[in-house]
Chains A and B, each alone.
Chain A
Amino acid sequence: MEAMNLTELLVITPLVALFIGSIIPISVKAFTGREMGAFASLFSAIVAVVAAAGLNITFVNGFWKLSGVNFMTAFSENLIVDGISVWASYVIYIVTGFVLMLTYENKATRGHQLAEHIFLILNAAIGMVLVTMANNLIILFLVIELMSLSIYLLIALSREGVFSKEAALKYFILGSVGSAILLYGIAFIYGSAGSTVLQTVGEAAATIFANDKIFAIGLALVIAGMAFKVALVPFHSWAPDVYQGSATPVTTFMATGVKLASFIAFLRLFIYSQSLDASAISTLLQWLTVITMLTGSIAALRQENIKRMLAYSSIAHSGYAMMGFLSASMGSAGEGTTSMLFYLLIYSLMTIGSFAVVSAMEAKEDSMLLIDDLRGIAKRQPMLAFTFAIILLSLAGIPPTVGFFGKLYLILSVIDQGYVWVALMAMVSSAVGVYFYLRPIVVMYMTEGAFTQINRNSYLTQSVALVMALAMVALGIMASPLYNFVKNSVFPSL
């Protein structure tokens, strides 16, 4: 093992910045006995996130430009920094910044525990960035736990007493079982491949898979464990309960950051094993994709609670992102990966927008918004209603918005691989989706009522929602340049 060199340390400076930012508010609280001002805490956390992004640009992208490389490994090949992880880490910084803003204004998270919230959010963000960089199965397990343990505590921290505690318990129990299953799979892969380094395992995968049943069991267990984390049907049953019960900013974080990071880790497990020509695995992934899309869309049809409806819609979106995963892991690493990461980016932006609207409408810490509560909002809060309508149209995938182009690229990538029936099922699922996404719009604009639910101090949250709605339209117009930009960032050419 060679000595640690300076480059390796510089690569992780963004994470150090995030960590320093996370401990400032909580150390002030510990040493002075008083909480820092709420705005000062938020400001220091946002500065840390911006600094992390800046350090990433300087020391990773800058270094690549200077030395003419396009990926590097660090810490005895335990971390890999390549186009995928750099791109994902920028999306995670963006998500973290917006989640911090929602946390600052939401009734359930604001108050005497903002310092703890900031500490946990930034540490979960460190976990997410490391999940996208992990190049060793045991490191992957450790950082997934770093991310998950922070999220369990974040859910339980909410000021609302009944639903959030139940959500924390459910997520903790099912998340731990998911982690244990993942770890058992890692043990079997280690046992049959003799290594836990992803590249070594991936390159040997084809030969081992043909000769060793233990490897196949391990792979199946790892797929099941990751399916728990990204909420694929039939491992999705925790998601609606947990998304509904958690404070809205935490739900936003789970639906965007955790899902994105887990998908990247899932992809990294498969991207090295292109030689693995296993029709059994391909069939399994196709069915997971199709069942996830359809179950999510159909179950969302009969939901009255807005957060629960968005939770099922997020399950359906996991299914759509799985289409990119399917084509990425079964031959088309370029287009498949790009379409999946493109979709995860715009899905994250749409989800932040939709939950920001929900957060702005939560007048009390234990608000449970129903779709019927939206009656009359178009008269009382025309801006908020308009914002929500655009975001819902984008989630449904209606053409001028970027949601349409995200689905288009995914469907094209699976058709390229010859999975036409998956593409057809995605279209069926989208058609069902249009119905339940349009229902809130109909209630907002076509029914009379006295809309009363609004958080009076939510200017930041409402601006976040508005920015996302405008981004949906703007990115929709520039979809093709954005797609090429994602492609060039994910696969940087020398």
Chain B
Amino acid sequence: MSVDVLTAGHYLILSAILFCLGLTGVLLRRNIIVMLMSIELMLNAVNLAFVTFSYFNQNIDGQIMVLFVMAVAAAEAAVGLAIAVSLYKKFKDLNISLFEHLRG
């Protein structure tokens, strides 16, 4: 199967599947590190959509955006891991079921 057979639709469906997997991961998994990985997966799904649109519309903007999004994702991971480290120091565990002090 050559590349030409694949249309924009195929890539967009793949990106939608990846995005939903990421979203499900954030909503269902209990470990903070896995949740951070799921957020990265969501951002990467978005990157795939950007590159797809960029390629099929013959418009370079989308690929530039991917670079920005990758930089932001790295910054977000840095902040998320910093928060995870400070939580681990405090609670000695990273399971979110420990964090139920705020409710009502």
B-contacting residues of A (Cβ < 8 Å)? 138, 141-142, 145, 149, 152-153, 156, 161-163, 165-170, 172-173, 176-177, 179-180, 183-184, 187-188, 190-191, 194-196, 240-241, 244-245, 303-305, 308
Additional A-B contact list (6), CB under 8 Å, known A138-B64, A162-B90, A188-B49: A156-B82, A169-B96, A190-B62, A191-B49, A191-B62, A196-B61
Are B80 and A172 neighbours in the complex by a CB distance under 8 Å?
yes
Find residues 46-104 in chain B having any chain A CB closer than 8 Å to their own CB.
46, 49-50, 52-53, 57, 59, 61-62, 64-65, 68-69, 72, 75-76, 79-80, 82-84, 86-87, 90, 96, 99, 101-104
Shortest CB-to-CB span from B61 to chain A, Å, is 6
Residues of chain B touching chain A, judged by Cβ–Cβ distance below 8 Å, are 19, 22-23, 26, 32, 35, 39, 42-43, 45-46, 49-50, 52-53, 57, 59, 61-62, 64-65, 68-69, 72, 75-76, 79-80, 82-84, 86-87, 90, 96, 99, 101-104
A-B contact pairs, 8 of them (CB 8 A): A142-B68, A153-B79, A163-B102, A165-B83, A166-B102, A169-B84, A170-B102, A184-B49
The answer to whether A180 touches B102 (Cβ under 8 A) is no
- Rounded to whole angstroms, the CA-CA distance of A356 and B42 in the bound complex is 38
Minimum-distance CB pairs A-B, first 7: A191-B53, A180-B42, A187-B49, A241-B102, A166-B99, A176-B39, A183-B46
> In the assembled complex, which residues on chain B have CB atoms less than 8 Å from the CB atom of A161?
90
Q: Which B-chain residue is minimally distant from A152 (CB atoms)?
A: B79
What separation, in Å, do the CA atoms of A179 and B69 have in the docked complex? 11
Residues of A within 8 A of B90 (CB): 161-162, 165
Q: What's the minimum C-beta distance from B58 to chain A, rounded to whole angstroms?
A: 9
Query: In the assembly, what is the distance between CA of A188 and CA of B53, in Å?
Result: 8
Specify which chain B residues have a CB less than 8 angstroms from the CB of A167 in the assembled complex: 102
- Residues from chain B with a CB closer than 8 A to the CB of A149 are 75-76, 79
Q: For residue B86, which residues in chain A have a CB less than 8 angstroms away from its CB? A: 156, 165
Most buried by B among A138, A142, A162, A176: A176
A156 to B50 Cα, complex, angstroms: 33
Tell me if A176 and B80 are in contact (CB < 8 A). Answer: yes
- Complex CA gap A356/B80 in Å reads 29
Q: Cβ of B22 and Cβ of A142 under 8 Å apart?
A: no
B42 CB, nearest partner CB in chain A, Å: 4
Q: How far is the CB of A234 from chain B (nearest CB, A)?
A: 14
Task: Please name all residues of chain B whose beta carbon is closer than 8 Å to the beta carbon of A169 when the two chains form the complex.
Answer: 32, 83-84, 87, 96, 99
Q: How far apart are A220's CB and chain B's nearest CB, in angstroms? A: 14
Q: Who on chain A is nearest to B80 by CB?
A: A172
- Decide: A241 and B72 in contact? CB cutoff 8 A: no
Decide: A187 near B83, CB < 8 A? Known: A145-B76, A180-B22.
Answer: no
Which of B39, B53, B64 makes the CB contact (< 8 A) with A187? B53
**Minimum CB distance partner of A171 in chain B:** B83
Q: Name the contact of A308 in the complex, choosing from B35, B53, B96, B104 (C-beta under 8 A).
A: B104
Q: How far is the CA of A194 from the CA of B26 in the complex (A)?
A: 31
- Interface-centre pick from A141, A167, A184 (highest chain B CB count, 10 A): A184
